[in-house]
A and B are shown apart, each in its own frame.
Chain A
Amino acid sequence: MFSNKKAESDLNSEIAHHLHHLAAEYERQGHSPKEARQLALREFGARDQVKEECRDERPFAWLTGFRQDLVFGLRMLRRAHIVTAAAVLSLALGIGANAAIASLMDIVLWRDLPVPDPARIVLVNWQGQGFPRELANGASGSMFRQDGFEVADFFAFPAYESMRRTVASQATLAAYTFPAQVSVAWQGRPLIAEQRPVAGNFLATLQVRPHLGRIFSLADDTDAAPAVAVLSHRFWANTLAADPAVIGRTLTIDNRPHIIAGVLEPAFYGLFPGDTTEIYTPIHHAPWRERERAEGNDRLLDPRNWSVQLIARLAPGVTAQQLSPALNAAFRSTWSAQPTEPAPAIRLEDGRRGLGVLSRSFRNPLYFLGALVALLLIIACANIANLLLARGHARRKEIALRMSIGCSRFRLIRQFLTESALLAIAGGAAAILVAYAAANLLGQFVAGNGTLPLRVSLDHTILAAVALFTFAALIVFALFPAWQSSRLSDPSWLKQGRGSIGGIERRAGLTGRILVTAQVAMSLVLVMAAILFTRNLLSVRSADPGFDRRNLVVFGVRPGASGYEKSRLMQFYFDLEQRLAATPGVASAGLAWMRPMNVGGWWQSARLKGQTATHQTSVNAITPAYLPLYAPQLLAGRNFTWSDLRADAKVAIISEDLARALGGPQVLGQVFEFPDGPPGAVPESYQIIGIAPAIAATSMKERPYAIWVPFSKAGQEATVVVRTTQSPDVVLPALRQTMAAIDPNLPMVDTVTMEEQISKTLLRERMFATLCLAFGLTALALCVVGLYGVLAYYTSRRRAEIGVRLALGARPSDVVAMVLRDGLTPALIGIALGLPAVYFGARYVQEELSAVKPLDPASLTLTLATLLGAALFAAGIPALRASLLHPLDTLREE
């Protein structure tokens, strides 16, 4: 390979020597030296072919050939640099988007928990017919319908203790609870953190290793043991500045000192990717338990308080099927009351991937987006395939020449594939950046209620995904054109002029058209998705919530966790509201239990006293100043007063639509009740004293009936809503000053404007709209380029024919019509093929569209118009150019 020059000159000399002898032989036979030389040349035959075959015999000949291919390929790519750049860019976008979605799928759907032997982890649920009212009077957890049963994940703590002991030989069983916000003081700095109370053996059951210090044991999870905390690596690194000396020091959690026992290993992200938990503490020292004990109502050991979730690690050699009956028996033996029929039974779920919080809500969106980006990549590949076909076609004289001087077809295909591989590698390299950026952008969207944004690092997963998609793309776009081009080896082309249309030319044109048709069909799906989701987002975002959403600031306060005594809380809230309202730039301030526009909240079914028809309502407890922040005027009745609050008056204001459902304005003064209390208890009842306009209280996507009750039982925490007279940005510093003046140790939790609060609830809509719009625009651009490219190329091949037509009397408009027909036919066929895909795909996105229908006629019309417009534009340019041809010019080119 390195002595290439010497080998070449040796080869030439060797052949020259042979010819010399041959010629000498002929001279001996009586020919003149000149004749002899010619006869020798004729006898030797195709010298280049012999040379080529000798070169093929060299060791590493394929490598030498590869270098030649590479150099030649680079030269060809450089010569057409704009085309090359466009191809590389479209490949980078297509491959990058696919790799990004694939690496998110990996994190959300496929990756195991970062603990040893995750296959042995199982989640313990039970299934039955609804909430076991006879057995429980309170639950914290989730319940959903599956396989005809209600499946729930909550258990009573005493039941857990007994089950854990019973099945100890087959599995270790550990309890955990949901994380909650706590107020943390670290070195005098007030912070808000997410804390998850867990059983003492929880971390040991998962076999999470400590990075520093130790994890808990069951001995830590007793009332007698001192309160300890184990920190997530993220919290330790971000908030405690990764200080290795924190072990043994005190962290104040909700005004109670905890000793920091350990910091967990960095790989452990929690029970699911995006788990917000920052602090783990034993259940016996959970903040809610401290509050319950302070109130003299310790319910941890109450067998009717179903407050914990269970996870288990199977002992070696034990299967879930073996554990299930034992656990079921243990579960039943914990019941204090007679079982209801059909009885709830234990249901074990695969826990190797942890809690499926993200996978449940993002499986379908990820598959849907994955399908869209796959289409995008195919469209990009079709473009490049077309480009390669056209180029192979343009180079057919060169190809014919190379074949006739001894280049094998295999070698030719290899040359084409090398060029394509160069394109793919360049595209793949750029795609790494695209994938990394896109995956992290998408990871932001996955964040939501109780989920952190997912961070995707530039690791082997994403690189493998890029490599995989690059290879797949190469196969898709390169193989066919290479094979097709290598067939263009008919030597007769060497003699052919430009304008003639041979059989192969027609065929190549047909392939191009088929590819463009497929592109249009796939683009239709992508453009429709883009328009549909953009319209959905716009209409949800611009929907009228029933109040002026500008100039509102929302934040939380947690005085209970900062040491305020219960008796002082009411006065504290009263003072807080007054001082905030007196702050410059503030029009008014109100307090509520539930944060507005936060999707979830406090839901109750309500009915008029003495009636059976119940209505699902969203309830909030508020101060008198709260409702006027949204609706200055009540429609009927009166607002609350502070004396209502202090007297704990059982009065309520209801929304206009609920009033209508309950029977119209005459419900004012009547009494309604919340029937879903504990069995046997008297339901809470309220007298209706006012009717307010219906406003969107929980999100922009739904408008539930609303009930407001007085902010009477001063809670440990409250949400503050402030209406400002100027832009919130201007007033916020003054608000912070007022808060610091009231109490410097009281953090403002999650301070946002109402607009920001609203857009938080629209994250999912924004994700779909942003991504689909980006995909749709890219697809449309690729499609226009593809259609334009095919038409422009084949129109230029037909210049002579068009010239003849014009010379024979065709009008320019005839030529325009001819080329347009050529371009619009594949576009129309593509649209026709794409419509069924849109029709069948629409049902999969139904649940993601809250404001428009999946087959929204306006969106469909807009999609068709967009695609037709794009096709007209793409076909129009070559059509116009062809009509402006001068017949004589084209004929002279021959």
Chain B
Amino acid sequence: MSTKTTNLLQGTLDLLILKTLAHGPLHGYGIAQRILVASRETLQVQQGSLYPALHRLEHKGFLKSEWKESGNGPMAKMYSLTPAGRKHLAAETAEWQRYAGAIALVLES
């Protein structure tokens, strides 16, 4: 797992987590893996920031969690989006696209 990875921009981790969970419930490890795969092994989420972020989003009411048997191995804490999380994701996505578009405009000029 020694691919070349990029550090996440401050504040974007929440957005990535919300987007990842929009496809369905996942546990912490799964979220990290999904982001890694989706970014073609570019974005590696540090465990040190993943779990605090998950807990933060959960306490803010954007995520909910439940303990589930996960095939083989120990019980897994499965996170899923709440309606508030879905709304937040939409707003944050729009905001991000506006931001990225603006950056792109500047870079292309």
Residues of A within 8 A of B (CB): 10, 13-18, 20-22, 24-25, 43-46, 49-50, 53-54, 56-59
- A230–B28 CA distance with the chains assembled, in angstroms: 84
Q: Judge whether B64 is part of the interface by a CB distance below 8 angstroms.
A: no
With A46-B48, A53-B52 known to touch, is A17 a contact of B59 (CB < 8 Å)? no
Taking CB atoms, residues of chain A closer than 8 Å to B74 are 13, 16-17, 20
Q: When the two chains form the complex, which single residue of B29, B46, B55 contacts A18, counting CB atoms closer than 8 Å?
A: B29
Going nearest first, the 6 A-B pairs with the smallest beta carbon separation are: A21-B29, A57-B55, A53-B52, A57-B56, A18-B29, A54-B55
Question: Is A24 touching B59 in the complex (CB atoms < 8 A)?
Answer: no
**Docked CA distance A44–B47 (Å):** 6
Chain B interface residues (CB < 8 Å from chain A): 1, 27-30, 46-48, 51-52, 55-56, 59, 67, 70, 73-77
Which residue of A has the minimal Cβ distance to B74?
Answer: A17
The answer to whether B51 touches A50 (Cβ under 8 A) is yes
Q: Nearest B residue to A51 by beta-carbon distance? A: B51
Q: Let me know if A18 and B59 touch, CB within 8 A.
A: no
Closest chain-B Cβ to A17's Cβ sits at a distance in Å of 5
Shortest Cβ distance from residue B59 to the other chain A in the assembled complex, whole angstroms: 5
Given contacts A54-B55, A57-B52, contact A13 B47 (CB under 8 A): no
Extra pairs beyond A53-B48, A54-B55 (4, CB < 8 Å): A13-B77, A22-B29, A54-B51, A58-B59
**Within the complex, what minimum Cβ distance (angstroms) separates A91 from chain B?**
39
* Chain A to chain B contacts (Cβ below 8 Å), 18 pairs: A13-B74, A13-B75, A14-B51, A14-B77, A16-B74, A17-B29, A17-B73, A17-B76, A18-B27, A18-B29, A22-B29, A25-B1, A43-B47, A45-B47, A50-B52, A54-B52, A57-B55, A58-B59
Query: How long is the Cα–Cα vector from A707 to B47 in the complex, in angstroms?
Result: 101
Of the residues B30, B46, B51, contact of A15 by C-beta under 8 Å: B51
Which secondary structure characterizes the binding site on chain A? helix
A49 with B51, Cβ < 8 A, contacts A20-B73, A21-B29 known: no
Across the interface, A14 reaches (CB within 8 A) one of B1, B28, B30, B46, namely B28
What's the minimum C-beta distance from B21 to chain A, rounded to whole angstroms? 15
For residue B57, give the distance in angstroms from its CB to the closest CB of chain A. Answer: 9
Min CB–CB distance B20 → chain A (angstroms): 15
Q: Is the CB of A17 within 8 A of B47?
A: no
Within 8 Å CB of A45, what residues of B?
Answer: 46-48
A476 to chain B, nearest CB (A): 37
CA distance A609 to B25 in the complex (A): 119
Contacts of A46 in B (CB 8 A): 48
Closest A residue, CB atoms, query B58? A57
Output the least CB separation between A411 and chain B (Å): 15
Assess A49 versus B75: contact at CB under 8 Å? Given A57-B59, A59-B59: no
Distance to closest chain A CB from B82 (angstroms): 16
A739 CB to nearest B CB, Å: 85
* Contact present for A50 and B27 (CB under 8 Å): no
Chain A residues contacting B51 (CB-CB under 8 Å) are: 14-15, 18, 50, 53-54
CB-defined contacts of A24 to chain B, threshold 8 Å: 73
Min distance, Cβ A495 to any Cβ of chain B, angstroms: 26
The reply to whether B47 and A58 contact each other, CB–CB distance below 8 Å, is: no
Q: Are A50 and B29 in contact (CB under 8 A)?
A: no
A328 to B: closest C-beta gap in Å? 74
